[in-house]
């Protein structure tokens, strides 16, 4: 028998710390429960929450909020070089990274301290310090919401791109990811330490161990990004925009310092944080909403911010960036 809670506050379930109520709430600890909820409540709308680290609630929710809370890590295959593990989607991402470090399994050390759950990680192909989830992802199990069958979806069908996958685009709301299979390195470890800030940490070092890479990533993240347990936030609020080479060249005339990363022969990626910073918005505060003082891409909740207020600030930033640089910033965070 399924036990729903009624009129539950979602504040503890989103890293922005925004107050919003859900009419019904269910913590699902296995796939059978999920199937049952979906089968019995076809007439009610639902939303799925993992770690709540990439959402902004702007209003109360009249349907069922399903919290994904299935746990477990299982080794499926092992050779002297690699290991394949299946991780249930309710596992906390950073705890999974720590588990890999404890077992000396390489591949996710650059992704240490990213908030959120394992099941949410493929949705936006989480990434940091030169590594994206796609580099270790093998497949996932996902519950098809219509057929209520679990399907195995392999990497090539996920269409992973920068902060994107089928689960965020054309297959949005078709699946609930229930577990993820990762292929990790036992020996040798393939280190990725070329990213600027990370490289600087190892300039005098021998080849670091994966545990040292993770420690450096944690140090950098802690110095720049606010801890959501202290200051509510959702990490980067916007994606870094891609612009055409000709647009970039034009901007460069007025802003010779403009940083960029080459994305292809035709496009470059520009750090949105730099654009917001140029506009003098870093560290600004309006009531309980603000732009973080160390990272202009992060919007923060100083206490009692409403989702709508965060959204208003985000829209102001988007308009200012559009007006000054003729660049449209896309949100990385899901606005609900």
Which residues contact ligand EPU by CB under 6 A? 128-129, 197, 224, 235-236, 239-240, 259, 271, 273-274, 277, 282, 295-297, 332
Smallest distance from ligand EPU to CB 67, Å: 21
Neighbours of 265 (CB within 10 A): 6
Catalytic one among 132, 163, 201, 221?
163
Alpha helices (runs of H) in 69-202, residue ranges in sequence order: 93-102, 155-158, 196-201
Min CB(262)–ligand EPU separation in Å = 14
Whether 73 contacts 92, CB under 8 Å: no
Q: Is 223 a catalytic residue?
A: no
- Closest CB to ligand EPU among residues 323, 330: 330
In the complex with ligand EPU, which residue's Cβ is closer, 187 or 261? Answer: 261
What minimum distance in Å lies between the beta carbon of 204 and ligand EPU? 21
- Annotated catalytic residue: which of 53, 89, 165, 236? 236
In the annotation, is 201 catalytic?
Answer: no
Q: Is 150 helix (H, G, I), strand (E, B) or coil?
A: strand
Query: CB-hemisphere CA count at 13 Å for 85?
Result: 23
Residue 165 known to be catalytic: no
Buried b (16+ CB within 10 A) or exposed e, 18-56: bbbbbbbbbbbeebebbbbbbeebeeeebbbbbbbbbbb
The residue sitting closest to ligand EPU, measured at its beta carbon, is: 235
What distance in Å separates the CA atoms of residue 202 and residue 206, rounded to the nearest whole number?
8
Q: How far is CA 266 from CA 10, 129, 152, 163, in A?
A: 43, 23, 35, 20
Shortest CB 128 distance to ligand EPU, Å: 4
Residue 46 vs 307, nearer CB to ligand EPU: 307
By beta-carbon proximity to ligand EPU, the closer residue of 138 and 161 is 161
Active site residues: 163, 236, 332
């Amino acid at each position: 028998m399924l036990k729903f809670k009624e009129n539950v506050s979602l504040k503890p379930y989103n890293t922005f710390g925004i107050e919003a109520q859900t009419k019904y709430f269910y913590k699902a600890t296995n796939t059978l429960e999920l199937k049952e909820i979906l089968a019995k409540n076809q007439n009610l709308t639902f939303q799925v929450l993992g770690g709540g680290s990439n959402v902004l609630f702007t209003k109360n929710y009249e349907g069922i909020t399903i919290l994904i809370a299935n746990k477990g890590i299982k080794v499926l295959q092992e050779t002297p070089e690699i290991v394949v593990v299946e991780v249930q989607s309710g596992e906390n991402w950073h705890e999974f990274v720590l588990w890999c470090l404890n077992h000396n399994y390489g591949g996710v050390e650059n992704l240490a301290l990213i908030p959120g759950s394992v099941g949410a990680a493929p949705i936006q192909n989480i990434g940091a310090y030169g590594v994206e989830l796609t580099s270790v992802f093998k497949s996932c199990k996902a519950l098809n919401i219509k057929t209520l069958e679990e399907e195995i979806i392999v990497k090539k069908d996920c269409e992973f791109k920068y902060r994107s996958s089928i689960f965020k685009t054309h297959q949005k709301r078709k699946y609930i990811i229930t577990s993820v299979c990762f292929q990790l390195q036992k020996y040798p470890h393939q280190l990725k330490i070329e990213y600027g800030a990370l490289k600087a940490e190892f300039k005098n070092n021998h080849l670091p161990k994966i545990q040292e890479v993770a420690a450096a990533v944690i140090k950098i993240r802690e110095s720049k990004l606010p801890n959501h347990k202290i200051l509510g936030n959702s990490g980067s609020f916007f994606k870094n925009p891609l612009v055409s080479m000709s647009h970039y060249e034009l901007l460069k005339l007025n802003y010779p310092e403009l940083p960029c990363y080459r994305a292809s022969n035709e496009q470059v990626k520009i750090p949105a944080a730099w654009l917001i910073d140029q506009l003098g918005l870093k560290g600004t505060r309006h009531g309980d909403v603000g732009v973080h003082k160390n990272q202009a891409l992060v919007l923060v909740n100083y206490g009692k911010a409403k989702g709508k207020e965060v959204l208003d600030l985000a829209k102001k930033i988007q308009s200012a960036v559009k007006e000054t640089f003729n660049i449209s910033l896309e949100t990385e965070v899901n606005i609900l």
